[in-house]
Each structure stands twice: as C-alpha cells, then as structure tokens.
C-alpha cells in the first residue's frame, strides 16, 4: 500500500511536467498552436489580461506575472486545501487502523496458496470498506483535472506572451535564463517540503524524504532550461504553496487530529481481521487426513512382513 502511494505521488510530480508541456498543442518551432483548445480558452485570455496589466496598470510584465499567478492560485486554493483536508482525514484514520492493516499485510506475505492470497486481499479491502476509507488514500482525480490545464496555461502565458521576451524585472531579462531566480525557485519548493513534514509521524517522514528531494530538483530542472518569466511564475507558485502547506499542516492538521480522535473514541474502528485464517479447501484437508492412516497401515504391514521373514 505504501509503495502504491509513493508511486502515485512520484507519477503525479512527473505528470505535472508532462502536462505543462503537453496540455497546450505546439507547432514545429515549439510555440503554442493558436488554434488549440487550451490556448484559445485559457492561454490567449490570460495573455491578454497579462498584457493589459503590464501596459495599462503600469506594472510591467514582471509584476503582472506575479499578480496573475497570485490571482489564479488564490482562486484554486480552496479546491486544493479541500483536497488536502480529505487526504489528512484519510491519513489520520489510517493510524487507528494500522494494527489491522499490518495483520492483513502479514497474511498476504504468508499466503502460500491462491485461496489464502485471495482471502488476505479480501480482508484488506474489508478493513477499508468497513471503516469508510479509500485504498487510494483520498487522492481525487477531479481537482487535478481542473488544476492542470490552468497551470499549463499559466506556464505558456508566462513564456510566450508577446513582449515578455524583451521585458526586464529588477535588472533581469525575462526572456533569458536567470540563475538567481532558479535558486530562489528551488529554495521555495525546499521550504514547502519542510513545512509539509510538520506533524508527520516518524515512519511517514522516511517515506517522504525522497519526495523532499525530487520535487525541488524537478522545479530546478524545468526552471534552468526556461526563461526568467517562467521561473518567476515557479517562484511565486512555490511561495504560495508554502502558505497553503502552512495552512493545511500547521493550522488544519491539529484540529483534524482532535476531530478524528473524538470520532474514534465515540465510534471505535471496526475490527475486521485479527489473525490469519486457514482457508485451505476442505477436500485437501480430508485427503491429508485419510492419507495419514494409510501411511501408518503401510508401515505396520511392512513391520509384520519383516518379522515373518525372520
């Protein structure tokens, strides 16, 4: 189960990079196709609004990217926090079911026959079902389906909106790579990873350590090959992510723990599995029992024949 969750998280991070490059259809030169669906309904309107803020509000493209990213992320934040809340509820309940889950996992490892394996799998599923938990750990597809096209549109807006390639922000050319912004982006996502570890049990921290390294490295990898306008988008997104993670892990999580503790006190977890059950078919058991007396009779007959010969 832990391997499944780890695989889902890792594939999700990889999916971010793939989605950011694949949601918007590109032409042969790498620029977005203006006839693409995401471009027409998201990239083009966001680009127009970005240009409007830069020109009419006197912000310039640097501050316009920051303002646009903050607006979009704040709109999506309730959805993302709600998803994190569901995942936390699931994780906290899992702590109370850990003894049963460990027994079911041990049964699956000890299973030697197909019947025992099927029985152990049913036990694991029943533990989750009886206690109203999802085996996917509260991971929902709908929030991701909503967020990814928008993040993809922001990515391409910051990269291909006309005028950004020649604009500057605090002396940095937004059309060229900025190592300083790459470092800030990496640090922002490192900080987010550390905040996400607050209040996490020691056994789960070991599983999350690899993700603490992978996430910032992927951001640095994408940023170092992108112009500063895109990296600025990653920086702002990382800082907002720190705020969001602080809200969920520092402010919400203690309340959720108390709520789950009270709920478990009033309605204790339903015990589904306590020990490994013998699910060997009855026919096999009968055959073994009938075979034992036969073997004994054979030994007795052999002994009598030996005495007779003597």
Mean pLDDT estimate for the chain: 78
On the question of pLDDT at 134 being above 80, the answer is: no
| Cα–Cα distance measured from residue 87 to residue 204, given in angstroms and rounded to the nearest whole number | 14
- What does the pLDDT read at residue 265? 85
**Verdict on whether the full-model pTM lies above 0.95:** no
Instruction: Measure the CA dihedral 184/190/191/194, to 10°.
Output: -170
| 225 φ, ψ (degrees, to nearest 5) | -105, 15
* Cα separations in angstroms, 188 against 14, 192, 261: 19, 6, 33
Rounded to an integer, the average pLDDT of 272-299 is 53
| Cα–Cα distance measured from residue 40 to residue 53, given in angstroms and rounded to the nearest whole number | 19
- What does the pLDDT read at residue 147? 72
3-class DSSP string for 217-235 = HHHHHHHHCCCHHHHHHHH
- As a whole number of angstroms, the longest Cα–Cα distance in the chain is 118
SS3 112: coil
Rounded to an integer, the average pLDDT of 55-71 is 93
| pLDDT per position as a tens digit, 187-216 | 999 999 889 888 777 777 777 777 778 888
- What does the pLDDT read at residue 15? 53
Rounded to an integer, the average pLDDT of 147-166 is 84
């Amino acid at each position: 189960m832990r391997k499944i969750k780890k695989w889902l998280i890792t594939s999700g991070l990889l999916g971010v990079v793939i989605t950011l490059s694949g949601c918007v259809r590109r032409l042969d030169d790498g620029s977005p196709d203006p006839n693409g669906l995401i471009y027409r309904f998201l990239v083009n309107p966001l680009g127009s609004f970005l240009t409007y803020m830069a020109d009419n509000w006197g912000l310039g493209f640097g501050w316009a990217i920051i303002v646009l990213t903050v607006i979009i992320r704040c709109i999506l934040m309730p959805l993302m926090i709600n998803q994190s809340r569901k995942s936390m509820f699931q994780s906290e309940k899992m702590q109370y079911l850990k003894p049963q889950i460990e027994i079911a996992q041990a049964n699956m490892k000890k299973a030697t026959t197909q019947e025992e394996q099927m029985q152990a799998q049913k036990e694991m599923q029943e533990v989750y079902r009886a206690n109203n938990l999802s085996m996917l750990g509260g991971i929902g597809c709908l929030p991701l389906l909503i967020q990814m096209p928008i993040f993809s549109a922001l990515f391409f807006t910051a990269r291909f909106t006309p005028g950004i390639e020649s604009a500057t922000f605090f002396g940095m050319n937004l059309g060229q790579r900025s190592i300083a912004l790459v470092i800030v982006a990496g640090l922002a996502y490192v900080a987010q990873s550390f905040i996400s570890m607050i209040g996490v049990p020691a056994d789960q921290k070991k599983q999350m350590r690899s993700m603490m390294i992978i996430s910032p490295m992927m951001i640095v990898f994408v940023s170092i090959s992108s112009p500063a306008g895109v990296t600025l988008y990653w920086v702002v997104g990382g800082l907002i992510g720190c705020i969001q993670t602080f809200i969920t892990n520092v402010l919400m999580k203690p309340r959720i723990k108390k709520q789950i503790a009270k709920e478990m006190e009033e309605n204790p977890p339903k015990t589904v599995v306590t020990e490994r059950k013998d699910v060997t078919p009855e026919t096999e058991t009968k055959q073994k029992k009938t075979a034992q007396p036969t073997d004994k009779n054979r030994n007795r007959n052999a002994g009598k024949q030996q005495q007779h010969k003597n």
